Amino acid sequence: MVRSAVEERMNRMQTDRIDLLQFHWQDYRDKGYLTALRILKELQNEGSIVSLGLCNFDSVRTDEICTEIGPSSIATNQVQFSLIDTRPLHGMNRVCEKHNLKLLTYGTLCGGFLTDRWLHKPEPELYCNNLTPSQRKYLDMILKAWGNWSLFQSLLTALRRIGDRHGGESIANIAVRWVLDHAFVGAVIVGARLGIVDHSEDNLNVFAIKLTSVDNGDIEAVLAKSNACQMLR
């Protein structure tokens, strides 16, 4: 079944190998994920897969997999990481260092909430027509798990102030830079709605930004008032 799934993906992409195959598993009570990954490792040894990655595995299972499958067998784990969701700082970071693993992070802009668009704006209704399903998920996280809208506005204000120090860089770029500055992060996945918004050129500016100790101090001062450390790890 595993081999068939890999072959199907190669056929779709019209290629004889997959550069990065990301693996997800729904139920940790079923240890079949170890069996599947051993087979994927065999396919990697055969040349069908260049690198193996995980998707949304927690710290405990990531450590288990990297230990069981072998040293440096897993290249990446795709997980959520942002100024709002800082769970990777509480365990996953140590697993990455232990196994030479990098994170591919999504949700880094919280569906667009960590942008200039929402600075000084009133709290939106969760089910208003102007929000996308993704934004509803992140708004719920901001209001119920992380803090409240007032504190979120304080975070946006701090990011805007930092952006101004760096020549007027966007809030989004400062938020992405903060995530990229963690050594265990390999790349940030920035979502886009094709044909609706395009910030590709502006996004490239993130690589020219170097946050200072003052910048990070301003961010941490806001995060310290949030419930970030109490979110499920």
Domain boundaries, the chain: 78-85+108-230
Dump pLDDT digits (tens) for 125-152. 988 878 888 899 999 999 999 999 999 9
Q: Domain 78-85+108-230 is of which CATH architecture?
A: Alpha-Beta Barrel (3.20)
Structure confidence at residue 230 (pLDDT): 76
Over residues 38-52, mean pLDDT: 97
Contact 84, 142 (CB under 8 A): yes
Dump pLDDT digits (tens) for 164-216. 999 999 999 999 999 999 999 999 999 776 555 667 788 899 999 999 999 99
Over residues 74-85, mean pLDDT: 98
Q: How far apart are CA 49 and CA 207, in angstroms?
A: 30
Q: How far apart are CA 82 and CA 226, in angstroms?
A: 13
Please write down the long-range contacts of 205-210, taking CB distance under 8 Å and 24 or more positions apart.
205/169, 205/170, 205/173, 206/173, 206/176, 206/177, 206/180, 209/166, 209/169, 209/173, 209/174, 209/177
* Mean predicted lDDT score pLDDT of the chain: 94
